[in-house]
Amino acid sequence: MEDGAAFTISLKPRGSATYRKDVRYALACAAWLMASALAVPGADVDLPALLKSVEKRYNNARTLQIDFSEAYSLPGRGRMLEDGQLSLRKPGKMRWNYAKPVGKVFVSDGKFVYYYSPEANRAEKMKLKETEDMRAPLAFLLGRLEFDRDFKEYRSRREGDATFVTATPKSDKLPYTEVSFLVTDQAEIRRLIVTGQDKSILDFSFRNEKVNPSLNDALFTFTVPKGAEFVDTSNQ
């Protein structure tokens, strides 16, 4: 797929190609805040103190709004690009609004997860507790888990006013082999890179971060677009 092509993610049955993309996406969300709690020995900066500040910044936030760009690449298959805005309210509420592809939406209202694909004109709903691959990432976003148990080796370097850290997980059974992130001296995460077991690269850039903004309740309410197919698996 060429640059600029839409990276379509939906909650499809386990084993499907689209479902696997969901998992990669979910892991990226998890790793973003997972990395924030690691105590990493640094050369040019007091990384344990910096990362403690990162953990405090995100785990203590009641609401968060941030613009993101995402690039997904797999050897031999080119790059797939998406971008949009994430709005988060604790506990359990989030909305991923996409500008590319236009109209794509992923919403959690704290009880149910909803996804709409404009390409397929299809909306899906399931219980939050049944989306096993999303459960852990949501917990990380909400700051509920301990993270230092997950990684064993770290590398770090300075990049201008920020520190770039790469962490290797303790388990080799996870879908990813490496997590890297770029964090400023003000404890703001600018970039996240996840390297998969299949050599795939999921690269997020973050900008225009707002901590504790006022967010309208309507952001976390999903309405099925007119004429869209609707699939409800929440009662199964």
**3 state DSSP class of 128:** helix
Q: How confident is the model at residue 44 (pLDDT cuts 50, 70, 90)?
A: low
Provide the H-helix boundaries in 60-144.
132-141
Return the H-helix or E-strand segment holding 31: helix 17-34
Q: Is the pLDDT of residue 11 over 50?
A: no
* 0.85 exceeded by pTM: no
Q: How confident is the model at residue 171 (pLDDT cuts 50, 70, 90)?
A: confident
Q: Is the pLDDT of residue 95 over 50?
A: yes
Alpha-carbon distance of 71 to 5, in angstroms, equals: 10
> Residue 127's pLDDT is what?
83
Average pLDDT over residues 22-36: 47
Higher pLDDT, 28 or 200: 200
Instruction: Summarize pLDDT for 138-149 with one digit per residue, the tens.
Output: 444 545 444 576
> Residue 37's pLDDT is what?
36
Alpha-carbon distance of 3 to 1, in angstroms, equals: 7
Share of the chain above pLDDT 90, in %: 29
Does domain 17-213 correspond to CATH entry 3.90.180.10? no
- Token duo for residue 77: 């298959």
Alpha-carbon distance of 153 to 127, in angstroms, equals: 36
> Residue 165's pLDDT is what?
83
Range in 42-56, 84-98, 161-175 with the lowest mean pLDDT: 42-56
Range in 93-102, 196-205, 213-222 with the lowest mean pLDDT: 196-205
Average pLDDT over residues 29-42: 42
Range in 49-63, 88-102, 113-127, 181-195 with the lowest mean pLDDT: 49-63
Instruction: Summarize pLDDT for 181-194 with one digit per residue, the tens.
Output: 898 988 888 988 88
Backbone angles phi, psi at 213, to 5 degrees: -75, 160
Long-range pairs, 217-221, Cβ under 8 A, ≥24 = 219/87, 219/89, 219/95, 220/87, 220/89, 220/93, 220/94, 220/95, 220/107, 220/108, 220/109, 220/110, 221/107, 221/109
> Residue 53's pLDDT is what?
80
By the 8 A CB rule, do 93 and 108 touch? yes
Alpha-carbon distance of 189 to 209, in angstroms, equals: 9
